[in-house]
Structure 1
Amino acid sequence: MFSLTGAEISHFLLAMGCLLAMAHLLGFIAERMFIPRVIGEVAAGLVLGPTLLGHFFPDAFKWLFLGFPTEDKLFGLLYQFGLLMLMFCSGLKFQTRFNKEDAKITSALVIGATIPAFIVGWVAADFFNITPYLGSANNALAMKIIIAISIAVTSIPVISKIFNDLGIMHTRFAKIVIACAGIHDVLLWVALGFATAIASQKGVFTVGTALTSVGISLGFIFCTLLLGYLLFKRLTIVKQNLLFRSSNLGYFLFIMFMLASLAGSLKVETIFGALLAGIIAKVALPNPVSERLEQSVSNISFSWFIPIYFATVGLQLDLVRHFNPWFFLTYLLFATLTQTAAVYFTSRIMKQDRFTSFNLGLAINDRGGPGIVLSSVAYTTGIINQEFFAILVMLALVTSWIPGTWLRIVVTKGWRLMPGDENIVPQRRNDDKIKTITKSTTS
């Protein structure tokens, strides 16, 4: 009970170690090429998965990742942990302090970037022949919702990473984009919960089903944020909280797991619980505590769980046999133009200049982590098949690449991101300081 043989443990550690090392190596190379690290981490799964290793050396791939009956389940468990940690970290990036003007712009962008893009995606699903891409649930309505979300979704983790890498996290531009992405994604996760709910009911859809699913999701969000805020505020930093005193990180991980478990019990996606746990911690705790928590969570998450998660996404892709490049290019252009145009025109309505509006449009078009989460959840629940799963993952990767490259050009050239960010001085990360120290000690 609760045990593996020594040979199975040894084999799993070998496979996991190879995947983790490849994820960090290709992630490092991607960053040196000014590409978001997540692209390199997914590429690790492509290299060691069916796309390359499995295509040219199928026996080696099967031996490494399917070497004993439960090995795939162990990777599945790590995959789920990585997904939860990614959403928890995303919640910790949530922005809460705004002046009146920034709040007004953020609210307008949330509405303007969500509703038009979602509607266009929904309508476009009727023009695409989606039948060949339906998953085992065989639910066209659920897939239409997934398509609409894929057009409108934005990434907190990747765009935050881009801002950190460029040293512009302190700018007005970064604060507005991250806040917009956070609120944006919470709304879209409600739609995702609805899609998975109707998919699980094998095509049975009624108004009651819709109201129940959306009501449970919204009720869970509202109650969790309200009660969580009050409890975190009153019970976290007190002498009687022995769990917090014994381990700050352990306490918050416990809260995250409990909320994720509760979400799953209510048939709301478990990622909701992890995301809300991060948001509550960010909003309710004093800044020094939330920043220390974010640093602690980031250390363990971005060194192990999250790279394994993204690499495992790559392991599930077979771009040789299950990928249509022409359909992908069409879908990429459609999704990018729709989302960017929605943000651009909303920004112009808010009286922002053309260059600012273009910057906002490209930044909010970044689908990154949430785009991959969307594809993962839709695939595992049978809404989409492997071909469309590959399309959505590649869409998330390419739309992460575009803003990363463009914003680097803007910062390097010294151009203004938006009014209020004139003559900004990039603030480099601690990693850069460590690299500088390392170079000085080795020279």
Structure 2
Amino acid sequence: MHAMSPTEVFLLAILIIFTLPWLVWRVGRTDYWAPLVVVQIIGGILLGPGVLGAIFPDYYAFVFTAPTMSALNGIAWWSVMLFVWVAGLELDLGEAWRRRRETGVTAGLALGVPLVAGSVAALIMLRYPGWRGAAGAEWQVVLGIGMACAVTALPILVLLMEKLDILREPLGQRVLRYASLDDIAIWGVLALILLDWERVGRQGGFLVGFAIATWAIRKLLRALGENDRWYVGLIWLALCGFAADWAGLHFMVGAFLAGAVLDARWFGEARMDRFRQTILLAVMPVYFLSTGLKTQWGVGGAAVFAVAALLLAASVGGKLAGIHLAGRILKWPKGDAKAIGWLLQTKALIMIIFVNILLDKKIITNETFTALLLMAVASTMLTIPVVAPLLRRDPALRKRGF
């Protein structure tokens, strides 16, 4: 029998990664309750060592060899950097500033209440062994899990609002403002969690250098045409990712900052939408698989699912409570808080990226990561089935700005 070359094994892995989730999504017609991105994340879990690898260990050892995983990890790193860079570009800080009272109150409560609820859930988890990573201090674990419960996944939220046909409507733009501030907060909290006192000089140097380089890159991009802006933007992304990782902040922090300091209008709205969709289509499935390969059930499947349910309750309940409180303070019309709360509780990719970093730094364990991953998938699957009926019952809701 012909022994497969490393290239053939790699392409076999790619074939599996792209084929199986798409077939499930298309044949099962899951788009209403589980968009393709969610099916791909679940597919990564099922293809990983915790499920299919445990049932068919020979398959896992044959396909996901060390050379294959090395190649897949390289694609995954770059794809997720591109994705986070676009998420940074999506931020409209100018509009948030113009509506700063309403945006600040809403975003603050939307982040703060689930952060507290998630932190309480984390303290309950830490009463039992198996949830704190080898290098994680208790405050890092509590803050990390709390933030994972509080965050809104801006890029996936954009995709879901496109499906609901509200992205360019006043309601959609309003939700984007709130989510944008929360997106900034998650990377700020991540930088705090990862602060390395042994490399604090490097981190300070990175921030000073980044400020100077930002002034230069913005000046350069204004002088370039759109095509050159895209190419130089990718160079800027790689540079920021490298510099942030060298400083000990993690390359994802650099990727987000690389996009956040640039103006989306320089790259064209329609072209940026196509670019984000291309990333999701062509390379992000590889990241989803690499995420699934980290799932573990070492403390017992029942315990992991119980913790996932606890985290889901803290996440969704905290987000809805925070938004309803904001609605009462700001005197929103009836129905606004419910729809906005369910939209903002979407987790998916940004949260998964965040907890991947916590796992890589050994702040949380594989079992904690798995519970958080399950929570993120469940949270995202709830969004469209809950919000779509609300929009049907109240068609004026999509037209309400503030």
The TM tier, using the shorter chain, reads 0.7 to 0.9
Residue pairs, 1:123-134, within 5 angstroms: 123-128=120-125, 129=127, 131-134=129-132
Residue pairs, 1:204-283, within 5 angstroms: 209=197, 216=204, 220=207, 224=210, 228=214, 230-238=215-223, 248-283=229-264
Retained in 1: the 8 A contact 2:295–2:366?
yes
Retained in 1: the 8 A contact 2:80–2:287?
yes
| Structure 2 unaligned residues grouped into runs of 5+ | none
Partner residue in 2 for 1:315? 293
Partner residue in 1 for 2:348? 368
| Structure 1 unaligned residues grouped into runs of 5+ | 199-208, 423-443
Retained in 2: the 8 A contact 1:118–1:148?
yes
Partner residue in 2 for 1:409? 389
Partner residue in 2 for 1:195? 193
Partner SS, residue 70 of structure 1: helix
Retained in 1: the 8 A contact 2:121–2:311?
no
Residue pairs, 1:30-429, within 5 angstroms: 31-66=30-65, 69-96=66-93, 98=95, 102-128=99-125, 129=127, 131-197=129-195, 209=197, 216=204, 220=207, 224=210, 228=214, 230-238=215-223, 248-283=229-264, 285-286=265-266, 289-291=267-269, 293-295=271-273, 297-318=275-296, 323=301, 324-417=304-397, 420=400
**Cα distance change, pair 145–212 in 1 and its aligned pair in 2 (3 A):** farther
RMSD: 3.2
**Cα distance change, pair 121–303 in 1 and its aligned pair in 2 (3 A):** closer
Retained in 1: the 8 A contact 2:114–2:319?
yes
Instruction: Give TM-score, length-normalised by structure 2.
Output: 0.87
**Cα distance change, pair 31–411 in 1 and its aligned pair in 2 (3 A):** farther
Instruction: Give TM-score, length-normalised by structure 1.
Output: 0.79
Retained in 2: the 8 A contact 1:232–1:280?
no
Q: CA deviation at 1:175?
A: 1.3
Q: CA deviation at 1:215?
A: 8.0
Deviations 1:91-116 (A, max 9, x none): 23223453887443212112222233
Separation in structure 2 between the aligned mates of residue 16 and residue 332 of structure 1, nearest angstrom? 32
Separation in structure 2 between the aligned mates of residue 233 and residue 274 of structure 1, nearest angstrom? 16
Deviates more, 1:114-123 or 1:305-314: 114-123
Partner residue in 2 for 1:206? none
**Cα distance change, pair 23–278 in 1 and its aligned pair in 2 (3 A):** farther
Instruction: Give the letter aligned to residue 34 of structure 2.
Output: I
Partner SS, residue 169 of structure 1: coil
Separation in structure 2 between the aligned mates of residue 32 and residue 45 of structure 1, nearest angstrom? 18
State the identity %: 17
Instruction: Give the letter aligned to residue 386 of structure 2.
Output: W
Retained in 2: the 8 A contact 1:30–1:40?
no
Deviates more, 1:99-108 or 1:185-194: 99-108
Q: CA deviation at 1:372?
A: 0.6
Separation in structure 1 between the aligned mates of residue 188 and residue 100 of structure 2, nearest angstrom? 22
Separation in structure 2 between the aligned mates of residue 177 and residue 210 of structure 1, nearest angstrom? 39
Residue pairs, 1:18-29, within 5 angstroms: 18-28=16-26, 29=28
Instruction: Give the letter aligned to residue 310 of structure 1.
Output: F
Instruction: Give the letter aligned to residue 239 of structure 2.
Output: M
Q: CA deviation at 1:326?
A: 2.0
Separation in structure 2 between the aligned mates of residue 399 and residue 290 of structure 1, nearest angstrom? 31
Separation in structure 2 between the aligned mates of residue 380 and residue 331 of structure 1, nearest angstrom? 21
**Cα distance change, pair 260–322 in 1 and its aligned pair in 2 (3 A):** farther
The count of aligned residue pairs is 396
Instruction: Give the letter aligned to residue 45 of structure 1.
Output: G
**Cα distance change, pair 123–213 in 1 and its aligned pair in 2 (3 A):** farther
**Cα distance change, pair 265–292 in 1 and its aligned pair in 2 (3 A):** farther
Separation in structure 1 between the aligned mates of residue 291 and residue 98 of structure 2, nearest angstrom? 40
Retained in 2: the 8 A contact 1:375–1:389?
yes
Partner SS, residue 236 of structure 1: helix
Deviations 1:124-180 (A, max 9, x none): 433332542112214222211212212211110111110111221112221122222
Q: CA deviation at 1:43?
A: 1.7
Q: CA deviation at 1:236?
A: 2.0
**Cα distance change, pair 359–385 in 1 and its aligned pair in 2 (3 A):** same
Deviations 1:240-299 (A, max 9, x none): x6xx6875533221111111111112221211222122233335x44xx33255145325
